[in-house]
Chain A
Amino acid sequence: MSALPDSYTVYSQRRHGYDHDLYTWSNMHERPPIQWPRGSVAVWLCVSLEWFPITPGGPFKAPGHMVTAYPDYRHYTARDYGNRVGAWRMLEAFAAADVKASFATNAAIAERYPELIAAVQAGGHEIIAHSTDMNGTIDATLDPQAECDLIGDAIARIVAATGTRPTGWLSIARQQSFQTLDILNAAGLRYCCDWVNDELPYRFTNGLINLPLNHELSDRQIITVQQKSADSWAQSMRDAFDWLAAEAVRAGGGRMLPIHLTPYIMGLPYRIGALEALLTSLGAHPDAWFARGHDIVDEWSKSE
């Protein structure tokens, strides 16, 4: 008698296409080429504005959340450093390079730090909804109504605090349930940034758009997880840009470079210079089109 049931070698979803109906398969390299307003590589800067309660909660603990026994002053304050200092360094760097970015913003940030939101908006940057706070994680263990309430609450609070309605959504750790796409769609959002399976926008079955925010290129992955230096991170961004620009020429169509930034990581004094230098070199590059998330979605939609 086997320790495994006979069903372990039965595969009910083995069929052409995916083992789910969330989206359909397509080869990026065979799609009609897309043209950006200028340049061949859309460079999308996306900054996460995160408030970590010192009392962790939610279905799972967000990356970067509290580590020690309560009260974890060390991590509460080190994360909040990003909101007090690091994000302001980034805003200055973006202004100096004359580029616009997206800011994936917890509702709690919008409510707690109005000066930061005002500066983001004054800079012409986009606000993407990024849950309530860093306890607002989503996974399949969350009751469907509770998930609906969480997303609705996050959007309502961001609208109230910023005076604008975001069209994009980023889940914490990009983690969803099987309901999330439908909830986001019903909440009137146009796109989410959670699925890292592509390098151009695509549409889910329910009509919502995915704008892929590559986690492998994030400062969190390269610097915090893989423990590389800021210079190594910047080198990887340049290598990615160079490859994508060359691939765009061969394909006759545009590519996308998502650069996901975290103020408490890249906004440190010894790291910000690497970001500034990267923005200077890419900013001068004729192939680079710096765009906010909704700009890329708009352009992609025109040629869909």
Chain B
Amino acid sequence: MHKGAADPGLYDYHPYAGRPKVVWPDGKQVAVWVAPNLEYYEIDPPIHPKRNPWPHPAPSVVGYAHRDHSNRVSHWRMADVMTKHGFPGSVSLSVALCQHHPEVVADANARGWEFFSHGIYNTRYSYDMSEAQERCIIEDSIRTVQDATGQRIRGWLAPALTHTPRTLDLLAEYGFDYTCDLYHDDQVQAVKVAKGTLASIPYSLEVNDHYGFFVYNMSGREYADTLVRHFEQLAAEGERSGTVMCIPLHAYLIGQPHRIGPFEQALEHIAKDNRAWIATAGEIVDAWRAQVT
């Protein structure tokens, strides 16, 4: 990006009307991917000068315990309904989860899910990192996930969505294929990087369960209805050129007992629609790149 410039220079303007036609495998119109965030939040992290992780001095019991619900209870609840309806996960992973709760990571790996990095912890922020520190977390992520799962990660969602002006250039340099950090489109788009190539895959904040429940204050049923409406629109538009729908999740939110039932119904709705190509992030980026280059 152009550091300090008013336009960060991440991409060119590319009007939605009249775009080249992207077609998903078997003529599908909308690529649907599910992105469970498998996270670890530290109970007593160092305080970053630009962001304090917790509302109370450590231990911030509700904040910490709420996230911990994922790793004791709700991961399996969420994962089981995804598996039941044929949705693989593309995991946004706090890679230290490989050390803290390898049992959770192993479960996701055994289900055939794809992993990408969401930083080391969701309580360590990238703002103001030196280049050496940023390379450190990228290399740590690649090595840690490789050791735990056998997968070479291809994607990135910055820890707690915190970046530096050089993050995307570094990702391209390390051979990453996609970033989930840009929210400017409903189709895969090229990102301008210093060297090499990088794709931006839509990872929606608007239908992220965190936004649904804590920004828009939806009930479980309202959120499920939102997912269906979002899907229907993107599936219809995908006839002109293939669209992407991402369902970003946090088990401690979607896996609560009052939300998981309606959510399962939304997944079932999408799974039954033959316009949907249910895929992983890497598969979507590969299918897109094969058509645009």
User: Taking beta carbons and an 8 Å cutoff, which residues of A are in contact with B?
Assistant: 1-4, 6-9, 11, 13-20, 22, 25-29, 60, 139-141, 171, 173-178, 194-199, 214-217, 222, 225-228, 232, 235-237, 239-244, 247, 255, 257
CA distance A22 to B59 in the complex (A): 11
Instruction: Determine how close the nearest CB of chain A comes to the CB of B75; give it in whole angstroms.
Output: 8
B136, A9: Cβ atoms closer than 8 Å: yes
* Besides the known contacts A8-B48, A9-B140, A175-B56, 5 further A-B residue pairs in the complex with CB atoms under 8 A apart: A8-B46, A17-B101, A28-B73, A176-B59, A198-B69
Instruction: Determine how close the nearest CB of chain B comes to the CB of A13; give it in whole angstroms.
Output: 7
B69, A257: Cβ atoms closer than 8 Å: no
B61, A178: Cβ atoms closer than 8 Å: no
B129 at interface by CB-CB < 8 Å: yes
The 9 closest A-B pairs by CB, nearest first: A2-B130, A197-B68, A240-B258, A240-B257, A3-B128, A197-B65, A236-B258, A140-B57, A226-B217
Q: Is the interface of A mostly helix, strand, loop or mixed?
A: loop
Report chain B residues within 8 Å CB of A237.
258
Instruction: Determine how close the nearest CB of chain B comes to the CB of A241; give it in whole angstroms.
Output: 8
Instruction: Determine how close the nearest CB of chain B comes to the CB of A200; give it in whole angstroms.
Output: 9
B219, A228: Cβ atoms closer than 8 Å: yes
B62 at interface by CB-CB < 8 Å: yes
CA distance A18 to B40 in the complex (A): 9
Report chain B residues within 8 Å CB of A216.
66, 256, 258
11 residue pairs bridging A and B, Cβ less than 8 Å apart? A4-B48, A15-B99, A20-B43, A25-B103, A29-B73, A139-B56, A178-B59, A194-B65, A199-B69, A243-B257, A247-B77
Cross-chain contact of A196 among B56, B65, B71 (Cβ < 8 A): B65
B152 at interface by CB-CB < 8 Å: no
B158 at interface by CB-CB < 8 Å: no
CA distance A209 to B178 in the complex (A): 45
A4, B129: Cβ atoms closer than 8 Å: yes
A19, B43: Cβ atoms closer than 8 Å: yes
A29, B76: Cβ atoms closer than 8 Å: yes
User: Taking beta carbons and an 8 Å cutoff, which residues of B are in contact with A?
Assistant: 42-44, 46, 48-49, 56-62, 64-66, 68-69, 71-73, 76-77, 96, 99-103, 120-121, 124, 128-130, 132-133, 136-137, 140, 213, 217-221, 256-262
A-B pair count, CB < 8 Å, reads 157
CA distance A113 to B45 in the complex (A): 43
CB nearest to A29 among chain B residues:
B76
Cross-chain contact of B59 among A3, A140, A236 (Cβ < 8 A): A140
CA distance A225 to B213 in the complex (A): 10
CB nearest to A229 among chain B residues:
B219
CA distance A96 to B49 in the complex (A): 55
Report chain A residues within 8 Å CB of B260.
243
CA distance A175 to B62 in the complex (A): 7
A195, B73: Cβ atoms closer than 8 Å: no
A199, B62: Cβ atoms closer than 8 Å: no
Report chain B residues within 8 Å CB of A247.
77, 257
CB nearest to B140 among chain A residues:
A9
CA distance A290 to B136 in the complex (A): 53
CA distance A114 to B72 in the complex (A): 41
CA distance A257 to B258 in the complex (A): 10
Report chain B residues within 8 Å CB of A26.
72
Cross-chain contact of A173 among B62, B68, B120, B137 (Cβ < 8 A): B62
B96, A14: Cβ atoms closer than 8 Å: yes
Cross-chain contact of A178 among B58, B101, B217 (Cβ < 8 A): B58
